[in-house]
């Protein structure tokens, strides 16, 4: 798995995951529960995709309205 984007808050991470999956790109949110306790210590909430999907997911992000990372 590769980290596509990192957020300080889990909500935008979940929204991005849902948009990716709605476009046929499987994704997961990592460190969501831990981040609520120590966001900066662990590097934030991460949206991850399979290595093979990283280019397609990056193109998806570039094509849609910008999502501002919070971390």
Cβ-based burial of 37 (10 A; exposed 0-12, middle 13-18, buried ≥19): exposed
- Tens of each residue's pLDDT in the chain, 71 residues: 999 998 888 889 999 999 999 999 999 998 776 655 655 556 678 889 999 999 999 998 888 865 555 54
Predicted local distance difference test score (pLDDT) of residue 71: 45
Predicted local distance difference test score (pLDDT) of residue 14: 92
Query: Which CATH architecture does the domain made up of 2-63 adopt?
Result: 2-Layer Sandwich (3.30)
- φ, ψ of residue 3 to 5 degrees: the values are -80, 120
Between vectors from CA 61 to CA 60 and to CA 63, what angle results, nearest 5°? 65
All structural domains of the chain with their residue ranges: 2-63
Predicted local distance difference test score (pLDDT) of residue 35: 55
Predicted local distance difference test score (pLDDT) of residue 22: 95
Q: How does DSSP classify residue 52?
A: G
Tell me if residue 1 falls in helix, strand or coil. coil
């Amino acid at each position: 798995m590769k980290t596509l984007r990192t957020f300080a808050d889990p909500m935008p991470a979940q929204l991005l995951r849902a948009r990716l999956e709605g476009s046929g790109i499987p994704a997961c949110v990592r460190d969501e529960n831990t981040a609520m306790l120590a966001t900066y210590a662990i590097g934030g909430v991460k949206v991850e995709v399979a290595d093979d999907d990283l280019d397609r997911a990056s193109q998806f992000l570039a094509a849609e309205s910008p999502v501002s990372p919070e971390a």
